[in-house]
């Protein structure tokens, strides 16, 4: 594993989940592995869980961290090759990535989708150009189209709480006042393809995800029908993919409620957080003992720790 940009970079998904669960039992077992190593963490967008869990994971391995909020502390970056830099952008990604590589042994990057330029977002401009110009491993802390550390943590959480050989997992769109990216839904969908499950995506018409990612996953346009017999319900908002970046309609009735959860087989509730109460989900669902959201956040430490450990071991 040279970089960790998507779930496809995991050499063996099931082994990775098992090893991450072992790290959770003995987080400090290799506390000297990262001695004298530095992880750079560059944030182009806000974070609570990703920032703290990745730092915590680094601490478990004895890695030092340097954190920079690039969006308001760094020079505005230019990504075009061969361009005349006479605008507002002061530093080219080519130098920035090479310079970060002088101070750090690995670099983790958060750079969300613009939701205004589908082509650039799908090209993963920030992440891929860092990977091109840095001489150190690059870790995706949520990019335009993917959030693999979250999906990896979600896989740990599902495995920990699954009581059936083949659970029914529902990813349901939920309302939100802002247009949100597809990254979490994309990576969750990709992740579930690795596990034995009956998986359906529930969403209002117009919110179909990238068909290259959903493939032959059943899409259900009636939320209550989708929830019937579910063992895990993952709620998430995302904006339109076909009418890129837009909120095509507001379906408040898609909020997940305790009444709707009664249709499930006492399903566990999942969400990556942050979450808007009584917009995405009713208090009663979020505060119910079947809610796994805090455990999902806890498991972020161990998905990150597994990735850092592997990259260290790969030298």
Q: Is 115 left (phi over 0), alpha (psi -120 to 50) or beta?
A: left
Stretch of residues binding ligand CP (CB under 6 A), selected from 34-42, 125-133, 193-201, 272-280: 272-280
Applying CB under 6 A, among 55, 125, 150, 214 the residue interacting with ligand CP is 150
Which residues make Cβ contacts (< 8 Å) with residue 112, sequence separation at least 6?
44, 45, 142, 143, 144, 181, 183
Q: Residue 117 corresponds to which tokens in the numbers above?
A: 């330029």
Residue 139 lies near ligand CP (rule: CB under 6 A): no
Give the integer Cα–Cα distance in Å for 256 and 145: 25
- In 3D space, the residue among 172, 157, 193 whose CA is nearest the CA of residue 264 turns out to be 172
Residues 34-53 interacting with ligand CP (rule: CB under 6 A): 47-50
Question: For ligand CP, how many residues bind (rule: CB under 6 A)?
Answer: 9
Stretch of residues binding ligand CP (CB under 6 A), selected from 82-90, 171-179, 241-249, 269-277: 269-277
Task: Between 43 and 133, name the residue whose CB sits nearer to ligand CP.
Answer: 43
Task: Between 67 and 273, name the residue whose CB sits nearer to ligand CP.
Answer: 273
> How far is C-alpha 254 from the chain's CA centre?
22
Instruction: Give me the least distance between CB of 144 and ligand CP, in Å please.
Output: 14
Q: How many CB atoms lie within 10 A of CB 306?
A: 27
Instruction: Give me the least distance between CB of 63 and ligand CP, in Å please.
Output: 19
Q: Give φ, ψ of 4 to 5 degrees.
A: -125, 90
Residue nearest to ligand CP (CB): 50
Residues in contact with ligand CP by CB under 6 A are 47-50, 142, 150, 272-274
């Amino acid at each position: 594993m040279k970089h960790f940009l998507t779930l496809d970079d995991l050499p063996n998904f099931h082994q990775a989940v098992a090893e991450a669960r072992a790290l959770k039992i003995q987080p400090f077992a290799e506390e000297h592995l990262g001695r004298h190593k530095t992880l750079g963490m560059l944030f182009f967008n806000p974070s609570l869980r990703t920032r703290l869990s990745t730092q915590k994971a680094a601490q478990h391995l004895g890695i030092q961290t340097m954190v920079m909020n690039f969006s308001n502390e760094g020079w505005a970056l230019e990504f075009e090759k061969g361009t005349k830099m006479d605008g507002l952008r002061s530093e080219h990604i080519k130098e920035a990535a090479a310079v970060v590589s002088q101070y750090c042994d690995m670099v983790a990057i958060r750079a969300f989708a613009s939701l205004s330029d589908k082509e650039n977002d799908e090209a993963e401009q920030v992440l891929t150009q860092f990977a091109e110009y840095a001489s150190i491993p690059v870790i995706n802390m949520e990019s335009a189209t993917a959030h693999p550390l979250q999906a990896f943590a979600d896989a740990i959480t599902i495995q920990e709480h699954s009581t059936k050989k083949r659970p029914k997992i529902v990813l349901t769109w939920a309302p939100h006042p802002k247009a949100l990216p597809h990254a979490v839904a994309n990576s969750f969908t990709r992740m579930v393809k690795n596990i034995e499950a009956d998986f359906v995506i529930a969403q209002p018409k117009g919110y179909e995800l990238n068909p290259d990612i959903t493939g032959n996953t059943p899409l259900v346009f009636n939320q209550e029908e989708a929830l019937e017999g579910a063992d895990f319900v993952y709620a998430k908002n995302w904006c339109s993919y076909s009418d890129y970046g837009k909120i095509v309609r507001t379906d408040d009735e898609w909020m997940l409620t305790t009444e709707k959860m009664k249709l499930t087989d006492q399903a566990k509730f999942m969400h990556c957080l942050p979450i808007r109460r009584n917009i995405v989900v009713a208090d009663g669902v979020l505060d119910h003992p079947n809610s796994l959201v805090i455990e999902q956040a806890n498991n972020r430490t161990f998905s990150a720790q597994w990735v850092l450990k592997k990259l260290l071991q790969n030298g």
